């Protein structure tokens, strides 16, 4: 993994070192590193608006922003196979952490959401994101060892996932891979679906766990509920959960339920910065699944 933590970078081996250097320069000034308290994109009075060509500490000193940027570089390096593939799809697990169960790339997108939609977000949310993403960025930090220089530099993994107690593999999800050198914006925007969708759970039938997946073309408040054959509510999985645009996954454990047919229903209220999203504002969909003991 690229050794880049809060702008302390070793960018040797990046696909295009000039692009990395240009981006690095937007984060520095005479004050050095971003050390400010983690928070949303606010200048202390209101939301920061308009495109910002540079975000050095003198303009917006925010260590969470720096950690998120480092995380996205690491995800991009993995997707471009500069570092071992599948980093963004690893699952984070930590007891009592609200981010547990999310893929690394989902945590990055969630941080984006709260950085932008910072109003009424508790300070603890930003501090937890900062601490969690910092741990992830440092999980594979170590000496760089190149394996190939034929077409472009590729780097060996420094540490096995098995040696990181708060991350686990995600064999049910195919890693995002790009064969060519694309910009960061292209890599992340390509993951955003065009329309809302609720997919069939997998596996189905199942015992006792199954994965529910759905697509969000924009940020929104999500409700995900399980019903029995009679339409009785038996489990609320998500209740007004603010979720990021992208492909979303939820692992449902039905250990406490008897065998039978159940329905899962999603209800989404869409949000969009500056009201740019022009699609439907509310999405509702229901699908059937079967639990067999």
DSSP 61: -
32 & 133 share domain = yes
Host domain of residue 126: 3-189
Q: What is the CATH number of the domain that holds 214?
A: 2.60.40.2550
CB of 175 closer than 8 Å to CB of 89: yes
Considering the domain architecture, whether residues 241 and 175 belong to the same structural domain is answered as no
Indicate if 17 and 150 belong to the same structural domain. yes
The residue out of 124, 156, 189 marking a domain boundary is 189
Number of structural domains found in the chain: 2
What pLDDT is stored for residue 93 in this prediction?
Answer: 94
Q: Which residue has the tokens 């006792």?
A: 208
Same domain for 34 and 140, yes or no, is yes
Helix axes 104-116, 63-79, angle to 10 degrees: 140
- Do 146 and 241 share a structural domain? no
* Amino acid 280: pLDDT: 65
Domain end marker among 172, 189, 206: 189
Looking up tokens 């925010």 gives: 62
Cβ contacts of residue 51 below 8 Å, gap of 6+?
A: none
Please check whether residues 118 and 236 belong to one and the same domain. no
Q: Judge if 145 and 16 occupy the same domain.
A: yes
Q: Note the pLDDT of residue 74.
A: 87
Contact between residue 148 and residue 154 where contact means Cβ atoms under 8 Å apart: yes
Angle 243-191-223 from CA coordinates, rounded to 5°: 25
Last-in-domain residue among 152, 167, 189: 189
Residues 202 and 176 occupy one common structural domain: no
Q: Are residues 208 and 177 in the same domain?
A: no
pLDDT of the residue at 27: 61
One domain for residues 122 and 259: no
Angle at 114 between CA 109 and CA 238, to 5 degrees: 75
- Co-location of 182 and 215 in the same domain: no
Each residue's pLDDT expressed in tens, for the chain with a length of 293 residues: 333 333 333 322 223 333 444 455 556 666 678 888 899 887 565 556 556 667 778 778 889 998 998 898 888 888 877 888 889 999 999 999 999 999 999 898 888 888 877 878 889 999 999 999 999 998 887 666 655 545 556 666 677 888 899 999 988 788 877 655 544 455 555 457 788 999 988 888 888 888 888 988 888 899 999 999 999 999 999 998 888 788 888 888 899 999 999 999 999 998 765 445 555 678 999 999 999 98
Query: Are residues 229 and 183 part of one domain?
Result: no
Q: What is the DSSP string of 97-157?
A: -TTTT-BHHHHHHHHHHHHHS-TT--HHHHHHHHHHHHHHHHHT-----EEE-SSS-EE--
pLDDT at 211: 83
Which residues are within 8 A (CB) of 158 and not within 5 positions of it... i.e. 6 or more apart? 1, 140, 141, 142, 143, 144, 145
Which pair of tokens denotes residue 66?
Answer: 């720096």
For 238, what's the count of Cα atoms within 13 Å in the CB-facing half-sphere? Answer: 24
């Amino acid at each position: 993994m690229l050794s880049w933590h809060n702008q302390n970078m070793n960018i040797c081996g990046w696909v295009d070192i000039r692009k990395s250097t240009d981006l690095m320069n937007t984060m520095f000034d005479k004050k050095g590193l971003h050390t400010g308290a983690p928070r949303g994109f606010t200048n202390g009075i209101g939301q920061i608006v308009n495109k910002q060509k540079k975000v050095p500490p003198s303009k917006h000193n925010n260590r969470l922003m720096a950690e998120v940027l480092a995380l996205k570089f690491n995800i991009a390096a993995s997707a471009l196979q500069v570092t071992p593939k599948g980093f963004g799809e690893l699952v984070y697990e930590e007891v009592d952490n609200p981010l547990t169960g999310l893929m690394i790339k989902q945590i990055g997108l969630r941080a984006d959401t709260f950085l932008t939609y910072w109003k009424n977000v508790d300070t603890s949310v930003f501090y937890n994101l900062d601490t969690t993403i910092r741990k992830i960025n440092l999980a594979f930090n170590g000496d760089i060892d190149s394996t190939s220089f034929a077409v472009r530099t590729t780097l060996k993994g420094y540490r096995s996932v098995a040696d990181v107690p708060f991350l686990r593999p995600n064999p049910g999800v195919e890693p995002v891979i790009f064969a060519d050198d694309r910009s960061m914006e292209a890599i992340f925007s390509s993951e955003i679906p065009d329309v809302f969708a609720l997919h069939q759970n997998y596996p189905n039938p199942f015992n006792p766990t199954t994965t529910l997946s759905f697509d969000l073309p924009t940020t929104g408040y999500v409700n995900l509920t399980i019903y029995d054959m009679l339409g009785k509510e038996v489990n609320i999985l998500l209740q007004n959960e603010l979720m990021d645009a992208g492909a979303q996954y939820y692992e449902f454990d039905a250990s406490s339920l008897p065998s039978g047919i159940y329905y899962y229903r999603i209800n989404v209220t869409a949000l969009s910065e500056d009201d740019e999203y022009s699609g439907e504002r509310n999405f509702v969909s229901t699908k059937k699944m079967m639990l067999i003991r």
